[in-house]
Protein backbone atom coordinates (compact mmCIF):
# COMPACT_ATOMS: atom_id res chain seq x y z
CA UNK A 1 0.00 0.00 0.00
CA UNK A 2 1.19 3.49 -0.82
CA UNK A 3 -0.27 6.77 0.38
CA UNK A 4 0.46 9.89 -1.63
CA UNK A 5 -0.42 13.34 -0.36
CA UNK A 6 -0.84 15.26 -3.60
CA UNK A 7 0.43 18.83 -3.42
CA UNK A 8 -2.63 21.11 -3.55
CA UNK A 9 -4.88 18.05 -3.89
CA UNK A 10 -6.24 14.84 -2.41
CA UNK A 11 -4.79 11.91 -0.50
CA UNK A 12 -4.30 9.00 -2.89
CA UNK A 13 -4.32 5.49 -1.48
CA UNK A 14 -3.01 2.84 -3.83
CA UNK A 15 -3.79 -0.68 -2.74
CA UNK A 16 -4.75 -3.95 -4.30
CA UNK A 17 -7.44 -4.37 -1.66
CA UNK A 18 -11.11 -3.65 -2.27
CA UNK A 19 -12.56 -0.89 -0.11
CA UNK A 20 -16.04 -0.53 1.23
CA UNK A 21 -17.08 2.89 2.53
CA UNK A 22 -19.98 2.69 4.94
CA UNK A 23 -21.22 6.18 5.72
CA UNK A 24 -24.64 7.60 5.06
CA UNK A 25 -26.63 5.92 2.31
CA UNK A 26 -25.57 2.89 0.33
CA UNK A 27 -22.09 1.44 0.91
CA UNK A 28 -19.56 2.48 -1.76
CA UNK A 29 -17.11 -0.10 -3.04
CA UNK A 30 -13.83 0.88 -4.66
CA UNK A 31 -10.86 -0.99 -6.02
CA UNK A 32 -7.22 -0.12 -6.45
CA UNK A 33 -6.81 3.68 -6.09
CA UNK A 34 -8.91 5.78 -3.77
CA UNK A 35 -8.68 9.61 -3.74
CA UNK A 36 -9.75 11.14 -0.43
CA UNK A 37 -10.61 14.83 -0.16
CA UNK A 38 -8.52 16.93 2.18
CA UNK A 39 -9.66 20.38 1.03
CA UNK A 40 -13.21 20.05 2.39
CA UNK A 41 -14.89 21.22 -0.84
CA UNK A 42 -15.82 17.88 -2.41
CA UNK A 43 -19.51 17.18 -2.98
CA UNK A 44 -18.83 13.44 -2.63
CA UNK A 45 -16.88 13.36 0.65
CA UNK A 46 -14.89 11.52 1.74
CA UNK A 47 -13.82 11.16 -1.91
CA UNK A 48 -12.21 13.84 -4.06
CA UNK A 49 -14.27 15.19 -6.95
CA UNK A 50 -11.70 17.69 -8.24
CA UNK A 51 -13.22 20.69 -6.42
CA UNK A 52 -9.81 21.47 -4.87
CA UNK A 53 -8.81 22.99 -8.23
CA UNK A 54 -11.81 25.33 -8.29
CA UNK A 55 -11.17 26.68 -4.79
CA UNK A 56 -7.40 27.02 -5.24
CA UNK A 57 -6.59 24.65 -2.37
CA UNK A 58 -2.94 24.87 -1.38
CA UNK A 59 -1.02 22.47 0.85
CA UNK A 60 2.27 20.61 0.58
CA UNK A 61 2.48 17.02 -0.66
CA UNK A 62 4.42 13.90 0.27
CA UNK A 63 4.48 10.12 0.18
CA UNK A 64 4.06 7.42 2.81
CA UNK A 65 5.11 3.88 1.96
CA UNK A 66 3.76 1.09 4.15
CA UNK A 67 5.37 -2.32 4.16
CA UNK A 68 4.09 -5.39 6.00
CA UNK A 69 6.18 -6.56 8.97
Interface residue with ligand FES, options 21, 28, 30, 49 (CB under 6 A): 49
Closest CA to 53 of 35, 65, 30: 35
CA distances from residue 33 to 3, 4, 14, 25, 50 in whole angstroms, order as listed: 10, 11, 5, 22, 15
Q: Are strands 2-5 and 11-21 parallel, antiparallel or unpaired?
A: antiparallel
Q: Is 13 in the site for ligand FES (CB under 6 A)?
A: no
Q: How far is the CB of 57 from ligand FES (least distance, A)?
A: 6
Q: Is 12 in the site for ligand FES (CB under 6 A)?
A: no
**Measured from the CB atom, is 56 or 68 closer to ligand FES?**
56
Interface residue with ligand FES, options 4, 9, 13, 34 (CB under 6 A): 9
Amino acid sequence: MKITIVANGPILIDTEAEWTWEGEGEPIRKKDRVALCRCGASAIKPFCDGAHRKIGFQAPGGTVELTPR
